[in-house]
Structure 1
Amino acid sequence: MPSEDLNDLAAFVAVAREQSFTQAARQMGVSQSALSHRMRALETRLGVRLLTRTTRSVSPTTAGERLLQHLAPRLEEIQEELAFLRESREKPAGIIRITTAEHAANTILWPKLSRILPEYPDLQVEININYGFTDIVTHRFDAGVRLGESLENDMIAVPISAPMHMAIVATNEYFAKNPPPLTPQDLAAHSCINLRLPHGGLLPWELESAGHALSVHVQGQWVFNSSTPILRAALAGLGLAYVPEDVALEHIHQGHLQRVLEKWCPEFAGYHLYYPSRRQNSRALAVIVEALRTF
């Protein structure tokens, strides 16, 4: 196969995945018009239409979708093998893309990776904050960080934190106006600060005591989509917050926050770094895994 055909097929994969000539061109570092011309030339050579174009969007045809499904994994395997060969004679280099929740990024990835990255100047780490369960293969991440209980079976999972607890907290000023809850049912009478998940729903407060588990849906005036502003709102006296214990402990010890329903906040599995079992590990990813696995 001529080399230009292979390059055009790689360009087709970028356009079909992004469903945008603009985004694909930016990703490949070429002009939108040049990329559009290459796609038309590829379709002419193959004698089949691969993309449906409108004034607002571009999407693969049935033939294009079939080609994408069969071609993309093979191109990725070629790219991975070439990268592995390059790294076999060089020190760890390249970009490692990791998807994770904000709490893990702040309390685990940043403290550990900031210590070792200066030793590897050719290694770059990209952290993507996302509370959803991202398909790391489809979205081309090298690894993800999630709680151990939510991992898929076909992933290699490496524990990177100890077991964890959540904490329900508010300020003394808030409790001066609102009696502290003594049971999960009492939460219905409180202003609770919610976390909005990527799929649109609110995170339920998972509570358990003496084998009795509850998934409590709380109400309040404030909703955020990350944990940092939730803690800030709690410190401002705006209501009860349900946050990882470690981010609240300092404020509890300093007397800024008061903890409630502690016996209802059980231990649960900590964070794991996960990546596809079928993928050949690069030396760069191996450095990241080794740095994170100790806790």
Structure 2
Amino acid sequence: MESAELAELAAFTAVAKHLSFRQAAIERGTSASAMSHSIRSLETRVGVRLFHRTTRSVSLTEAGDMLFARLGPALSDMRAAVDELNTFRATPFGTVRINVPNSIAPYVLGDAIEQLLKRNPGLKLDVVATDSLVDIVEEGFDAGIRFGERLSQGMIAVRLKSNLRFAVVGAPSYFQDKGTPTTPHELQHHTCVRYAFPSGTIFNWEFSKNGESVQVEVDGPLTVDSQELMADAAARGLGLAYVWEDRAAPYLRDGRLKACLEDWCVVEEGLFLYFSSRKHQSAGLRTLIAAMKA
């Protein structure tokens, strides 16, 4: 089989899996127009329409469904066979796609990525940082990082060492004008910068002390979807912010922000790297897992 044919079949499999040219293009590291061209070329070569296309949706024809059922396992076996060649290399070769929450990406990946890429010159990492909940299998990722939420069936989770901690911070001028809260309950009387997930859900601030856990639904005139914006808004005196301590560190060092409720802010330990138990675990993914655990 020619390499062009294999490329077309791989493109077909990606589009069939996602039923989206855009998502398939992201997985394949190319453009949607290139994916569309590959599918048209394949359909012309085999003389059968494989997809129903409209401006709003993509679906498999009966022929396309049959081809996908046969082709998916075959291509997986081929990828696994090629990956086994890594046993003959000093370091793994290939690309690993990983999804990680945008709010914590720099603090859990930075050192690990640096060491991983320096020690494995044949390895490539494709990192997508987003606070949206992502189905890593459907979106074509090899692994994801997530806090201790319930994972889908068929996933394996590896606990990561974590020293991430939240902090409640505000500008010195804010504390001078509004006072300093001494318990989480007092936050209901303070102006706070709220954080909204991509779904629109507002994040409640969570605290724990001496076995007592508290969730506070804060209020304020400003809602953002970025911890960086939260820290900046707090530094401008617009209210208190609840952000990762590492995110606030530069502001805390130069005095633009001060912390409060420190005895209520605990270390977040429920951080996991997770991946599908049904998918072939490549040498690159195994190396990433080892690096993240370390």
Bin the TM-score by the shorter chain.
0.7 to 0.9
Is the aligned partner of 1:202 residue 2:206? no
- Change in Cα spacing, 1:164 to 1:258, as seen in structure 2 (3 Å) is same
Q: Deviations over 1:32-56 (max 9, x none)?
A: 4563242355462xxxx542223x2
TM-score (norm 2): 0.81
Paired residue total: 289
Which residue does the alignment assign to 2:286?
A: 286
Partners of 1:205 and 1:276 lie apart in 2 by 31
Q: Which blocks of at least 5 consecutive residues in structure 2 are unaligned?
A: none
What are the superposed Cα offsets for residues 211-261 of structure 1, whole Å, 9 maximum, x if unpaired?
443332222233332222222222222211111233335644554322223
Partner of 1:275: helix, strand, or coil? strand
Paired residues of 1:170 and 1:240 also in contact (CA < 8 A): yes
CA distance in 1, matches of 2:183, 2:22: 55
User: Structure 1 residues 190 and 70, CA, compared in 2 at 3 Å: closer, same or farther?
Assistant: farther
Alignment partner, residue 38 of structure 1: 42
Q: Which amino acid in the other structure matches residue 277 of structure 1?
A: S
- The CA deviation at 1:276 is 1.8
Q: What is the alpha-carbon distance in structure 2 between the residues aligned to residue 126 and residue 31 of structure 1?
A: 19
Change (3 A) 1:34 1:157: closer
Deviation at 1:170, TM superposition (A): 0.7
Whether contact under 8 Å (1:104, 1:145) holds in the other structure is no
Give the structure-1-normalised TM-score.
0.81
Identity of aligned residues (%): 30
Deviates more, 1:213-222 or 1:27-36: 27-36
1:84 aligned to 2:92?
A: no
RMSD of aligned alpha carbons: 3.4
Alpha-carbon displacement from aligned partner over 1:161-181 (angstroms, at most 9, x marks no partner):
235432111111111121222
Task: Confirm whether residue 19 of structure 1 aligns to residue 20 of structure 2.
Answer: yes
Q: Which moved more, 1:131-140 or 1:260-269?
A: 260-269
Unaligned 5+ runs, structure 1: none
Separation of aligned partners in 2, 1:5 and 1:22: 21
Distance 2:4 2:35 in 1: 17
- 2:165 counterpart letter in structure 1: H
The answer on whether the counterparts of 2:11 and 2:24 sit within 8 Å (CA) in structure 1 is: no
Match of 1:241 in 2: 241
Amino acid at match of 1:83: V
**Aligned-partner Cα distance in 2 for 1:75–1:203:** 44
